Amino acid sequence: MQNSSYHQTTASSSTSTDPSASEKWAEKLLRECAKAISEKDSSKIHHFLWMLNELSSPYGDTDQKLASYFLQALFCKATESGDRSYNTLISVAEKIHSFDTARKVILKFQEVSPWTTFGHVASNAVILEALEGEAKLHIIDMSNTYCTQWPTLLEALATRNDETPHLRLSVVVTAAAGGSVMKEIGQRMEKFARLMGVPFEFQAVNCGFSRLGELKREDFALREDEAVAVNCVGALRSVGIKDRNGFLRVIHGLRPKVVTVVEEEADFTSNKDVYIMCFEECLRFYGTFFEMLEESFVATSNERLMLERECSRSILSVLACEGDGGSGECERREKGNQWCARLRSGDDHFMPLNFSDDAVDDVRALLKRYQAGWSLVTSQGDDAFGLYLAWKDEPVVWASAWKPSS
């Protein structure tokens, strides 16, 4: 292997050059590496992978973590072992994820950060408003937050209305969780509803890990007299890119009163054929996410570690796998304005619903409960609808509400 000039400098100045002493060193090195990969420059690829290997650590500071997880993805890309590695990682994750660990992680995450609760609060407000006065409610929940959204809604149903409506909850789990998790979730929800005095029915919709795109109307066992709300939190992105519009049509066919969509504000779709652009977006998004995690959790948090490891699988799938975003191989995120375009297109399209002042107040009140750095941004412009959660002024999560065209 040839010595690049960078290495000559390092060797001769007897290690007085510490590349990791400069700010954001990881992004710089990763960028160079990705560039080398897209240019197929073998010796440069080796050089940067080697440096990243020296400096990275999944247990160090944010730079080291980014270096570590992105290194794994870039290495798999360079050695074309992404799909194999991803499959191993997913099967490991499925084995070790119990309901208890998943619940512990998400509850802790919700305690220190509004990342997921933002979408919950916004969606619940809209759902309650849209289903006001209905006696039989059917919420179809496709989310990756293990039903942590619903206790608050159940409480609202129990306390707000004179006549507590009957609630049926159909849950499609989109995370790598598995059947045993669903059973536990169902039992917990039933228990909670009983405590709240809300007539309740729980239904698990069988769906393999991220086979969301294959769901059909029949899978939801709809009944005549119920008012339907469809709640998609972090779900649409696990539908294959080619299947997304079709999936939205299926949702349309359920004739819901309201559809809530919450997604993370990143675009790994429109640029998927230009490696370096996709890489940059990936680095931007996860750089922000990891920084947020570091500032929200204590340094030795196991929960944060699990969230980071989950990210590492996503990073690997986006940067090293060949799938186009279907059957669980890839979570190709799209930004709010991209989802808007999809939702508003075609014969079976949707119309945006505005968030009421009460809903916006609810969200603002939520953000006050967390540390500084978080803010609410209402969308500007004709093409964008919904609310954005921003971390240090950068929009990170998008929440929106829709109703089907009649």
> Could you say which of 26, 34, 36, 51 contacts other proteins (CB under 8 A)?
51
Of the residues 33, 85, 130, 229, which one makes contact with other proteins according to CB under 8 A? 85
Using rule CB under 8 A, residue 5 touches other proteins: no
Which window, 107-115, 243-251, 295-303, 328-336, contacts other proteins (CB under 8 A)? 295-303
The stretch near other proteins (CB under 8 A) out of 6-14, 202-210, 229-237, 276-284 is: 6-14
Contact residue for other proteins among 39, 41, 80, 92 (CB under 8 A): 92
Q: How many residues bind other proteins (CB under 8 A)?
A: 43
Judged by beta carbon, residue 71 or residue 230, the one nearer other proteins is 71
Interaction of residue 59 with other proteins, rule CB under 8 A: yes
Q: In which residue are the tokens 């609808």 written?
A: 385
Going by C-alpha positions, the residue among 29, 31, 24 that lies closest to residue 282 is 31
**Three-class DSSP category at 5:** helix
Tokens of 20: 């990791």
For position 88 contacting other proteins by CB under 8 A, the verdict is yes
- Say which residues have a Cβ less than 8 Å from residue 215's Cβ, sequence separation at least 6: 172, 205, 207, 247, 250
Instruction: Work out whether 53 is an interface residue with other proteins (CB under 8 A).
Output: yes
DSSP category for residue 297: S
Among 41, 80, 94, 361, binds other proteins (CB under 8 A): 94
Shortest spacing between CB 235 and other proteins, in angstroms: 24
Neighbour count for residue 138 (Cβ, 10 Å): 26
CA distance 158 to 197: 7
User: Which of 40, 133, 163, 299 touches other proteins (CB under 8 A)?
Assistant: 299
Q: Which stretch binds other proteins (CB under 8 A): 3-11, 336-344, 368-376, 392-400?
A: 3-11
Contact pick of 39, 41, 54, 358 for other proteins (by CB under 8 A):
54
Quote the tokens at residue 104. Answer: 């512990």
Of 2-10, 167-175, 176-184, 359-367, the window that binds other proteins (rule: CB under 8 A) is 2-10
Q: Which residues contact 383 (CB under 8 A, 6 or more apart)?
A: 337, 340, 341
Residue 331 to residue 285: CA distance in whole angstroms: 13
If binding is defined by CB under 8 A, does position 46 make contact with other proteins?
Answer: yes
Kindly tell me the burial class for residue 46, based on how many C-beta atoms sit within 10 Å of its own C-beta (0-12, 13-18, 19 or more).
middle
Binding residue (CB under 8 A) for other proteins from 40, 162, 298, 357: 298
Max Cα-Cα span within the chain: 80
Residue 353 phi, psi (nearest 5): -110, 140
Q: How many CB atoms lie within 10 A of CB 376?
A: 17
Write out the residues near other proteins by the rule CB under 8 A. 1, 3, 7, 10-11, 14-16, 18-21, 46-47, 49-51, 53-55, 57-60, 71, 75, 79, 85, 88-89, 91-96, 298-302, 305, 309
